[in-house]
Amino acid sequence: MGTRICGWVCPFGLIQDVIAKLGPKRKIGLPSWVGLGRYAVLLGLVIILPMYFGAKGLFYEEQPITVCKICPAGALEAGLPYSLYGLVKGGEWQMGVFKSTLLAVFLLVAMWVYRPWCRVLCPLGGFLALMNKVSLGRLHVESEKCLQCNVCLRLCPVGIAPVENPNSVRCIRCLRCVSCGVISWKSILGTSSKERGGETPPSK
C-alpha cells in the first residue's frame, strides 16, 4: 500500500504529528530534493555498510554500522524506555550521548518542520514511497472537476500539489487532500474513501 503505512500506522509519525501541534501552525517548507536523503540512508546505512564493512569487522560500539545508530524512532520507542528503566533500577543511562542528542534535535525540529525524519532520512519511508505509483491503492484525480482552487495544496502537510502528482514519492498518504472532493482514494476493488465514507481522516 505504499506510504499509507507512514500516514496511518507508523507510531513515530504519530508522535511527530502530536509534536507539530505544539509549534506554529505554519511550518517551514522543505525543497523536494531533501527526500533523496532517505535513499542515501537506505543504500548506505541499511544495505552497503552492514553488508560490506560488517563482515570485515568494522564495528562501532561493538555492533556493525547500521541505520539503528541514527534512527530517532528506535531511540524513542526502545532506547528511551530502556534507559529510563535502567535509571529506575538504580543503573546508568544506557543510550549514548550522540543518540540522545539526535533524538532531542529531531523532536525539537518537528515543532517547526512537519515530520522531518520521515521526509528527509527515513529509509523505510523511502522504500515504501517507491511503491506509491504501483501500489494496490492509489489517489485518483478527477481533473475535469478541478477548479484550480489549490485547496489540496494547502491541506497537504508535505507541500505536494496532489492534483498534479497525486502518487508522488513524497506523499505519505495521510488523505487530507480527499476532502477537496476532486481527489479520492481508490483500491483495486474500485472503492474510494468518498464512497465508503468515514475513512477520510480529520484535519490535523
Please choose, from the candidates 31, 109, 36, 112, the residue with its C-alpha nearest in 3D space to the C-alpha of residue 72.
109
What pLDDT does residue 66 have?
75
What pLDDT does residue 62 have?
53
**Alpha carbon distance 113, 106 (integer Å):** 10
The total of other beta-carbon atoms located within 10 Å of residue 126's CB is 24
Are 6 and 118 spatial neighbours (Cβ–Cβ below 8 Å)?
A: yes
Q: What is the mean pLDDT of residues 43-67?
A: 70
Which pTM was predicted? Answer: 0.80
What pLDDT does residue 2 have?
65
Give the cell for residue 121: 532520512
pLDDT > 70 fraction of the chain, expressed in percent and rounded: 85
Q: What is the mean pLDDT of residues 67-94?
A: 88
Please choose, from the candidates 202, 201, 199, the residue with its C-alpha nearest in 3D space to the C-alpha of residue 186.
199
Contacts of 129 (CB under 8 A, 6+ apart): 2, 3, 35, 38, 169, 170, 171
- For residue 179, the SS3 value is helix
* pLDDT of 13 higher than 60: yes
What pLDDT does residue 199 have?
40
What pLDDT does residue 61 have?
52
What pLDDT does residue 64 have?
60
